[in-house]
Structure 1
């Protein structure tokens, strides 16, 4: 870990807010732009990511494969393991960015939603500027979620709170797109109605809906497009990804593309026999380099996430002790 992150970066330029403090984007390195070290949900009983030892082993495997940074998109109330993240970052040498935000309503007990509903934007801002809970560990991005080909009342409410927090802090907003759908509805709301600059929006899971027209329209709007996670049986298969990325790059949008692993269950971790975080830099990167060239794939993994997650923070740079 670059020690400038632990001390806090006080330059006038944009910085990436990590769990150890603010980091010069040039120091981010090869980045898994969407993944999870810790995660729990009532929708996935028995599949929790809750073991710090397993998280450490996964980070070590990712580092050994050439990885330097991971952005954990686990939002409020889903077992982020915030207190564990600084130690994991120091021990592994991998930069970690944590998230605030709120997922779809189905991932929470009603009493949890009721507790945060009064001032959701305030919760997001506090976690971005003061730290998550009592840990003092700062979030460095906001994660919210859409629905399948649409936005329900909960999604609109959480996105409005995310937009308010973004305007107060500058933080990027990452969007879980259900099965990769609804990207244009999200942009209409966040950018059209709520005034968020498109280049502050990261649309996740677009690999799950390989609609090249929608991808092109989202890129033309100025958003970042995240293609994150190896396919499962009910998702679009990986063999279509090179064509989707080539179409975007050929149209001049290679600077909009992010890549991630999105490990969401213990069984999916590489240390448990799944693809896990290293898959992104082993087979996934290799396939994409053969199809697209090494320079372009390196851009997806380094320069693009460095821009996407950096911000001119609205409050003083956060420093973790």
Structure 2
């Protein structure tokens, strides 16, 4: 079988992703962020167009089950803007759902993930291209273990990569011990997100040594120690020989953060972050991080 990235308009060769925002959101809504839902299709279109105008070619939406993915809207947005979009299945932390929703998923979570990866999300026919789950702060609670166990089962059934929200950037080694140790997922099929939020360079290197992918996402969030420490963290990993495992993303989760509303949004990743990293690391490495690594991280020989 040939490796392919599963986008909302069909499977494509990994190299077709081009310049990729490896973690972002076109649509997202959670009770944890009341009044800041990303629901507006016109705003999503404008954000994609602004990203495209800065030289962007693809966006990976990490919005999982139950948080307003609007899967049916993704293919027309992709076609209208010329930006490839990858959708996600999966489940976020328990705090993002009500008890009734979680009870309804008991005993069928892995089955749901597999169905959304192979048949499509709901009645949209849009197939997910990755599984998104989440850890806790420096630990894995019962919910995280449940969702990651289901994600591993779905991975083994389909080959799909697993992307992990690390709470404030912590718990990377616990996640790898569970997914890759206990549950048998190959490290190169795991993407760890939000490592910029915890600038622990030793933990970063330890995680990278496993062979997983490391995502530095959510630029311009000063309270997460992102912009001012992220270049140092990326440089340290590159100098340690892990440049081929690094990913960059914007992680726009609120309406206020969108560029169309005066925030940094998706274009910031290319407008400000890319040139800063290029000045410190060299344009060739940054081009590989944004243009080659995402294709390898998301390219799958689908079962």
TM-score of the aligned structures, taking structure 1 as reference length: 0.94
Say yes or no: does 1:144 pair with 2:144: no
The alignment covers a number of residue pairs equal to: 303
8 Å CA contact 2:256–2:262 kept in 1: the answer is: yes
After the TM superposition, list the runs of 4 or more consecutive aligned residues in structure 1 that deviate by more than 6 angstroms. none
Structure 2 residue matching 1:254: 3-state secondary structure = helix
* Mapped partners of 1:249, 1:284: distance in 2: 16
- By how many angstroms is 1:237 displaced? 3.6
Say yes or no: does 1:271 pair with 2:260: yes
- By how many angstroms is 1:13 displaced? 1.5
- By how many angstroms is 1:242 displaced? 1.3
Q: Spell out, residue by residue over 1:240-273, the C-alpha distance to the aligned partner (whole angstroms, 9 max, x if none).
A: 1111111111111000100000000001000100
Q: Which moved more, 1:233-242 or 1:106-115?
A: 233-242
* Mapped partners of 1:115, 1:78: distance in 2: 15
Equivalent in the alignment of 1:92: 81
TM-score of the aligned structures, taking structure 2 as reference length: 0.99
Q: Which moved more, 1:160-169 or 1:108-117?
A: 108-117
Equivalent in the alignment of 1:60: 49
* Mapped partners of 1:149, 1:236: distance in 2: 17
Say yes or no: does 1:262 pair with 2:251: yes
Say yes or no: does 1:124 pair with 2:113: yes
Structure 1 residue matching 2:228: 3-state secondary structure = helix
Say yes or no: does 1:220 pair with 2:191: no
- By how many angstroms is 1:295 displaced? 0.3
Match of 2:39 among 29, 45, 50: 50
Gaps of 5+ in 1: 1-11, 315-321
- By how many angstroms is 1:233 displaced? 3.9
* Mapped partners of 1:116, 1:14: distance in 2: 31
Equivalent in the alignment of 1:238: 227
Q: Spell out, residue by residue over 1:49-70, the C-alpha distance to the aligned partner (whole angstroms, 9 max, x if none).
A: 0000000000000000000000
8 Å CA contact 1:70–1:94 kept in 2: the answer is: yes
Match of 2:162 among 173, 181, 194: 173
Structure 1 residue matching 2:132: 3-state secondary structure = strand
- By how many angstroms is 1:234 displaced? 2.5
* Mapped partners of 1:25, 1:257: distance in 2: 16
Equivalent in the alignment of 1:301: 290
Q: Spell out, residue by residue over 1:11-46, the C-alpha distance to the aligned partner (whole angstroms, 9 max, x if none).
A: x32100000110011111000000000000111110
Structure 1 residue matching 2:215: 3-state secondary structure = strand
* Mapped partners of 1:184, 1:215: distance in 2: 9
Say yes or no: does 1:101 pair with 2:87: no
RMSD (Å) for aligned C-alpha atoms: 0.7
Match of 1:71 among 47, 54, 60: 60
8 Å CA contact 1:98–1:141 kept in 2: the answer is: yes
